[in-house]
Structure 1
Amino acid sequence: MSVDQVPAKRVWGLAVPALGVLAAEPLYVLVDTAVVGHLGALPLAGLALGGVVLSQVSTQLTFLSYGTTSRTARLHGAGRRADAVGEGVQATWLAIVVGAVLLVAGQALAGPIARALSGGGDVAVAALSWLRIALFGAPLILITMAGNGWMRGVQDAMRPLRFVLAGNGISAVLCPVLVYGAGWGLEGSAVANVAAQVISAGLFLRALVSQGVSLRPRFAVMRAQLSLGRDLVLRSLGFQACFVSAAAVAARTSTAAVGAHQIVLQLWTFLSLVLDSVAIAAQSLVGAALGAGDGRQARGIATQITRYGLIFGCALCLAFAAVSGVLPRAFTTDPGVLGQIPNAWWFFVALQPIAGVVFALDGVLLGAGDAAFLRTATLGGAILGFLPLIWISLVLGWGLTGIWTGLSLFMVLRLAAVVVRWRSGQWAVTGAVR
């Protein structure tokens, strides 16, 4: 092992608990998808569109976790733990305020959004019934994101895992009980979703209070977080535009197509976060190295993490190629949906090695606070790759094949951008605060 790298045990000691945290939510959504999928194609399509809207709310505000990790890790590396935890306090205040605004705005706009995505009809009604309930979890999702952010930054990996598993584990049991046992159908899945967020957010709030730091809002710190967050929000807008557009085009193809897209997209999201577990370790370790003034070690960690990401991605590619004939049937027995899944499946499988490198380097650059570059790279990939092919697919009737071709081009463009940036070394700026 190079002296500029860190022991593999240290990387995986952060990455494995992070994997549990990152995987818990999409794994719960996969369980939710399987439960609702057996109600039929229409409830599954409603969950697909409603779930895209809710997931984009959290995706749009990733700075509450990733940006907080970056700032907290630098302060932690500089030996300023109280200030590091203080970043978590201010991020939590932001989560509460922004979450309340999202809840009110979401309830007002849920109907028009559901109709716009689905083109109206029964799918819009189903999506709206799920979304109106699930939106009550939005502020709680943001509080959990802020809690994960500061705990990752101070390299406290196990408690976030316990908190998230507590919420999602209870709700995974509750979901089929409410959907089938109580007879609530699709709405039962939304209630179980909110229950998960109540439990997890409550545990993160209790942990923050127990640190003994001031809980007073500090607007100067919040402004600094929002400055970093601005670039991450714009980056998230690129993702949001792509995945919402993909759901809208799938919905206009057929009910079976949108159901198939939901299943493969949730698997993609799940595996993206599996790969991102190594990137979470990179954020914490790279941020701490730069905060301690050791740019050489930060570059060594970046090389190490990139290698791990590639190996991990190749393993996932092989694993999901092997289960292609079996796994989709765990989510639905609808023949129309099953017939559409192969149009997306093999793109999803082939992209895993590329995703392994892209997500690893995303983690390195996020840990370094290089948000402006990531913003530009993501928006460029969306504008030049994903979005044109999605809408051409609608016009020319390419369906899921066109949508997933667009995703593939998006990932290749991002790969080229982050590899060039990594090799340049310009991201390795030292100091407690970038």
Structure 2
Amino acid sequence: MWNAVFHPWKNMGKVPLSVIFRDTRNVFKKDELGLEIAQIAFPAALALTADPIASLIDTAFIGHIGAVELAAVGVSIAVFNQVSRIAIFPLVSITTSFVAEEDTVGRWTNEVPENEKLEKVLAIDNEMEELIPHVDSMHNSSSRTANNTKNMEFEHERRHIPSASSALVIGGVLGLIQALFLIFSAKSILNIMGVNSGSPMLAPAMQYLTLRSLGAPAVLLSLAMQGVFRGFKDTKTPLYATMLGDVANIILDPILMFVFRLGVSGAAIAHVISQYLISVILLWRLMRKVDLLPPSIKDLQLGRFLRNGSLLLVRVIAVTFCVTLASSLAARLGSTSMAAFQVCLQIWLATSLLADGLAVAGQAILASAFAKKDYDKATATASRVLQLGLVLGLVLSVILLVVLQYASRVFTKDVNVLQLMNLGIPFVAVTQPINALAFVFDGVNFGASDFAYSACSMVLVAIVSILCLFILSSSLGFIGIWIALSIYMSLRTMSGFWRIWTGTGPWSFLRA
């Protein structure tokens, strides 16, 4: 697999970088492609950032309980999120691409019979064009009307999408496995993360992690369903469901934490309730759109999911290990360092995920374009989302540098924690353009179904980044961790440029 992905060194440089950043003057143009990206990206970005923002609100509430509790919850959130990513990220990414491909093929199949009829009618009437010059326009008009009517019927009928059923089955099973794994191994995992038996962080960390693990089935199911909706290029439905769930979380947080005096347990319970609410809403909406009962088990195409999912699983483990290792190294520096790292990391992830909205748009549009072999649209889409990602990153850098100087005290009043946060904030802000491009390149690769390259390149990036984390954290401490994370995101971005620049894999058409 490695040779198949990385062997074409001789092609390096054949594709100019101008292909990636061409027509930059049209980056904000409101043409058909620009509107399509915006309609998918904006709701997706809001939905993706809703959960990290909810976690930030949890963090703000918990920060007023104490620095120890803040650090403890930080470790627990890191564990839960990383285990969830290992379980669900491959499934969501594959589901989005597969559903987009199946939906595109389904629409094509729906249109073909009418087009064939049109060709036959035009062939018969071709000899009469001079006598009846308006016959062609009449046939074209009737054909468009028939196709539009047929497409409207296709939109409103419950579609049979095997990938949607497969995603729900796999998501539900993985959710139960994750819940059981985290509940019964919470203490051991926290010990590995640097929270030892004698640490004051252990008790609140175990309370939060164990209770939040009860919501794992809902989390994985809701994310699997979001992958299905993204494949349909519908990101508004997941946004509405996520917003309702997070509003419930924000309302329940202070009630359970302070009114009922449940502390960190109240924050976990509020989060679990919100996740089940999101899942119920999404399932209700999906059942109205898709026939979720497949004719047979073979129709689920589980083998296809597992083959591609195993590639992305390798990739996600590499990504997860880097971020989790960074959290573990911060925890080993003490509760003060971990508390500061937790706040900076949550801000880093929440803002960077705005670019993931562009990645979702790029993935959905590219998957449809590749399914139709529309390479012009594939190139234009990749260029546009990358340009928008770079602009977004630059804007976020400026905003964070200005805002975080005054907003740090929202999360904690501990002077020592604030001092360390001031050291981490410049890294959080300056790396935003790099982070944005890295996330968008993920969407580009997944839209092209380039799962093998994504996995192999990420393993190489992770190996270098892990070495940097160990070396820099031991020599520079808290700052060293953030320097290593900056190197990690830079390497991810470079690997994305490499694939298109060499014109290999699904991008070989660029060298034609």
> What's the TM-score bracket when you normalise by the shorter of the two chains?
over 0.9
Who is 1:116 aligned against? 192
Who is 1:75 aligned against? 102
Who is 1:99 aligned against? 175
Paired residue for 1:38, among 40, 58, 64?
64
Alignment deviations for residues 389-427 of structure 1 (CA, whole Å, 9 cap, x no partner): 22224433x222111111111111112110121233434
Q: How far did 1:176 drift? A: 1.4
CA 1:429–1:413: 2 relative to 1, 3 Å? closer
Q: How far did 1:206 drift? A: 1.7
Mapped partners of 1:185, 1:45: distance in 2: 14
Residue 375 of structure 1 pairs with residue 402 of structure 2: no
Counterparts of 1:285-434 in structure 2, within 5 Å, are 285-385=365-465, 387-396=466-475, 398-428=476-506
Who is 1:218 aligned against? 297
Kept after mapping to 1: 8 A contact 2:500/2:507? no
Kept after mapping to 2: 8 A contact 1:299/1:428? no
Mapped partners of 1:405, 1:322: distance in 2: 21
Who is 1:25 aligned against? 51
Paired residue for 1:264, among 332, 336, 344?
344
Who is 1:236 aligned against? 316
Mapped partners of 1:30, 1:228: distance in 2: 33
Who is 2:89 aligned against? 62
Alignment deviations for residues 170-211 of structure 1 (CA, whole Å, 9 cap, x no partner): 111111111111110011000011011110111122223223
Paired residue for 1:176, among 254, 264, 284?
254
Query: Which consecutive unaligned segments of at least 5 residues does structure 1 have?
Result: none
Kept after mapping to 2: 8 A contact 1:90/1:218? no
Which stretch has the larger CA shift, 46-55 or 419-428? Answer: 419-428
Alignment deviations for residues 257-295 of structure 1 (CA, whole Å, 9 cap, x no partner): 000000000011101211111111001111111112212
Counterparts of 1:150-169 in structure 2, within 5 Å, are 150-169=228-247
Mapped partners of 1:280, 1:148: distance in 2: 11
How many equivalent pairs are there? 427
Mapped partners of 1:69, 1:148: distance in 2: 8
Kept after mapping to 2: 8 A contact 1:64/1:142? no
Q: How far did 1:118 drift? A: 2.6
CA 1:90–1:280: 2 relative to 1, 3 Å? same
- Normalising by structure 2, we get a TM-score of 0.80
Aligned partner of residue 314 in structure 2, secondary structure: helix
Mapped partners of 2:423, 2:384: distance in 1: 35
Kept after mapping to 1: 8 A contact 2:164/2:292? no
Kept after mapping to 2: 8 A contact 1:77/1:288? yes
Alignment deviations for residues 198-249 of structure 1 (CA, whole Å, 9 cap, x no partner): 1011112222322351424735512211211111111111121111111111
Mapped partners of 1:356, 1:212: distance in 2: 33
Task: Work out which of the two has the higher radius of gyration on C-alpha atoms and give 1 or 2.
Answer: 2
Q: How far did 1:296 drift? A: 2.3
Kept after mapping to 1: 8 A contact 2:159/2:290? no
Paired residue for 1:131, among 201, 206, 209?
209
Kept after mapping to 1: 8 A contact 2:160/2:290? no
Residue 186 of structure 1 pairs with residue 264 of structure 2: yes
**Aligned AA (1:23):** T
Aligned partner of residue 65 in structure 1, secondary structure: helix
Paired residue for 1:16, among 34, 37, 42?
42
Which stretch has the larger CA shift, 97-106 or 143-152? Answer: 97-106
Residue 146 of structure 1 pairs with residue 224 of structure 2: yes
Mapped partners of 1:365, 1:374: distance in 2: 7
Who is 1:245 aligned against? 325
CA 1:212–1:12: 2 relative to 1, 3 Å? closer
Kept after mapping to 1: 8 A contact 2:389/2:437? yes
Kept after mapping to 2: 8 A contact 1:178/1:184? yes
The structure 1 segments of at least 4 consecutive aligned residues displaced by more than 6 Å after TM superposition are 81-84
CA 1:56–1:242: 2 relative to 1, 3 Å? same
Mapped partners of 1:226, 1:71: distance in 2: 13
Kept after mapping to 1: 8 A contact 2:215/2:276? yes
Mapped partners of 1:305, 1:410: distance in 2: 22
Q: How far did 1:84 drift? A: 6.8
Mapped partners of 1:208, 1:426: distance in 2: 37
Aligned partner of residue 122 in structure 1, secondary structure: coil
Mapped partners of 1:425, 1:59: distance in 2: 30
**Aligned AA (1:240):** T
Kept after mapping to 1: 8 A contact 2:366/2:447? yes
Kept after mapping to 2: 8 A contact 1:299/1:425? no
Which stretch has the larger CA shift, 292-301 or 255-264? Answer: 292-301
Which stretch has the larger CA shift, 175-184 or 202-211? Answer: 202-211
- Normalising by structure 1, we get a TM-score of 0.94
**Aligned AA (1:171):** N
Mapped partners of 1:324, 1:213: distance in 2: 47
Aligned partner of residue 189 in structure 2, secondary structure: helix
Aligned partner of residue 413 in structure 1, secondary structure: helix
Q: How far did 1:68 drift? A: 0.5
CA 1:84–1:68: 2 relative to 1, 3 Å? farther
Kept after mapping to 2: 8 A contact 1:329/1:338? yes
**Aligned AA (1:325):** Q
Identical residues among aligned pairs (%):
28
Kept after mapping to 2: 8 A contact 1:275/1:312? yes
